[in-house]
Amino acid sequence: MLSNACKYAIRSILYLAINSSEDNKIGVKIIAEELETPQPFLAKLLQQLTRDKLVSSTKGPNGGFYLDSKNRKNAIWDVIISIDGTSKFDNCFLGLAKCDDRNPCPVHFIVSPFKDKILSSFRDKTIDEYVVEIKNTNRVISLKDLDLFENEDS
Amino acid sequence: MLSNACKYAIRSILYLAINSSEDNKIGVKIIAEELETPQPFLAKLLQQLTRDKLVSSTKGPNGGFYLDSKNRKNAIWDVIISIDGTSKFDNCFLGLAKCDDRNPCPVHFIVSPFKDKILSSFRDKTIDEYVVEIKNTNRVISLKDLDLFENEDS
DNA sequence: ATAAAAAAAGAGATTCTTGTCTTAAACTCG
DNA sequence: CGAGTTTAAGACAAGAATCTCTTTTTTTAT
Ligand code: FES
Ligand code: FES
């Protein structure tokens, strides 16, 4: 559904939302290590996001990427638009030319409610709100955070 | 989620399930036209499906592809395994290394129920059963069938 | 000023997916 | 048998996605 590029970008934005500030800019190197993504490739993506004003950056020593308060008012959806475009969300799951309720493919009514949900999750919440939700519910973003509950079987 | 190749393959199987029989084999050319897919590419896919005994074929005049009663007992899931493999269904939507309920990414609990549904739709029904469902509910398979209800606004 | 640090930019390499082309093999029918 | 038809197979080509490398520009700190 999403390209690798877009997945990296979303995870970067969330990472920056949680860990960065104007006083604490983070370099590509760190971000790439934390998210375990290819470094120069991620750099390209961050450049793209910066061009589209979804993240902020400064050069030089103590420079790096961060989110200012304006950036935090955007939605994940804006990241998807910037990197992947929206076509993958509009297209039919089985590749038919059109996807709508009146000419549904065999899985349309399974796929369609899911699309709506994920869409509203990405589009109707600001990054800020997203982060609050992530913190409240202990969601994982980077890879290194995995297996948080390794030894606490429920 | 699914590759083009896999979408073509699924649509072909469904097309053959509805339109072919041992007495009515269908050539690649016709199938490719009906589904509006690149012909030689589809031929490759049908060869692959034939190797995996998901479709049947005979060469020569009046030859072509068809589904025998054994083929019809398979599931769409078998097509996906044959063409794409299952990894796309196992992987995390945001590209994290593992996808499970204990280390959920921010969208895990949105994506996960959908995966279960689509999976059971593909895995727990035979092609035969799928076709019955398609016929009962007027689902669209090829592109040419689109806009069936053009002038019957509900 | 100068040196170091970091992003920006652009060219290039690799791999994967998609798609094409050509030849071989098998089958049918006259 | 022999001509025609259709799948099978394999090599090949184009394109996109992914990833890398090098150079330039900007900023900070000394
Ligand atoms: S028509 Fe196929 S997903 Fe909507
Ligand atoms: S952990 Fe991301 S979808 Fe399950």
User: For chain A, what is the mean pLDDT?
Assistant: 90
Give yes or no for A151 touching B (CB within 8 A).
no
Nucleotide nearest to A58 (CA to C1'): C7
Compute φ and ψ for A58, nearest 5 degrees. -135, 150
Instruction: Return the half-sphere exposure (C-beta side, CA atoms, 13 A cut-off) of residue B2.
Output: 27
Would you call B105 and A140 a contact, using CB atoms and an 8 Å cutoff? yes
Q: Which chain B residues are Cβ-neighbours of A117 within 8 angstroms?
A: 110, 114
> What pLDDT is recorded for position B11?
95
| Alpha-carbon distances of A22 from A28, A70, B103, rounded to whole Å | 16, 12, 30
Which residue is associated with the tokens 């990405």?
A: A122
Question: Both ends of chain B: CA-CA distance in Å?
Answer: 32
CB B144 within 8 A of CB B36: yes
Alpha-carbon span B113 to A3, nearest angstrom: 21
> What pLDDT is recorded for position A143?
59
Residue B68 CA to ligand 1 center (angstroms) comes to 28
> What pLDDT is recorded for position A130?
95
User: pLDDT tens digits for B37-67?
Assistant: 999 999 999 999 999 999 999 999 999 999 9
Q: Please check whether residue B154 lies inside any domain of the structure.
A: no
Q: Please check whether residue A132 lies inside any domain of the structure.
A: yes
Our CA angle for A145, A73, A141, nearest 5°, is 10
Q: Please check whether residue B152 lies inside any domain of the structure.
A: no
Q: Please check whether residue A12 lies inside any domain of the structure.
A: yes
Q: What is the CA radius of gyration of chain A?
A: 17
Give yes or no for A141 touching B (CB within 8 A).
yes
Report the number of distinct structural domains present in chain B. 1
Task: Name B33's Cβ contacts closer than 8 Å, sequence gap at least 6.
Answer: B39
Compute φ and ψ for B64, nearest 5 degrees. 145, -165
Q: Please check whether residue B151 lies inside any domain of the structure.
A: no
Q: Please check whether residue B153 lies inside any domain of the structure.
A: no
Sign of CA dihedral A16, A21, A22, A26: negative
CB B31 within 8 A of CB B12: yes
CATH number at residue B19: 1.10.10.10
User: pLDDT tens digits for A76-121?
Assistant: 999 999 999 998 899 999 999 889 998 899 999 999 999 999 999 9
Q: Please check whether residue A75 lies inside any domain of the structure.
A: yes
Compute φ and ψ for A16, nearest 5 degrees. -65, -40
- Is there an atom of ligand 1 within 6 Å of A110 CB? no
**In the predicted structure, residue B153 carries a pLDDT above the cut 60:** no
Q: Name the token pair of B143.
A: 């592109």
For A132, nearest residue in chain B (alpha carbons): B106
User: pLDDT tens digits for B83-122?
Assistant: 999 988 999 999 998 899 988 999 999 999 999 999 999 9
Q: Please check whether residue B95 lies inside any domain of the structure.
A: yes
Query: What is the extent of the structural domain holding B60?
Result: 4-145
**In the predicted structure, residue A148 carries a pLDDT above the cut 50:** no
Alpha-carbon span B55 to B28, nearest angstrom: 12
Q: Show the 3-state SS of chain B.
A: CCCHHHHHHHHHHHHHHHHCECCECECHHHHHHHHCCCHHHHHHHHHHHHHCCCCEEECCCCCEEECCCCHHHCCHHHHHHHHCCCHHHHCCCCCCCCCCCCCCCCCHHHHHHHHHHHHHHHHCCCHHHHHHHHHHHCCCCCCCCCCCCCCCCC
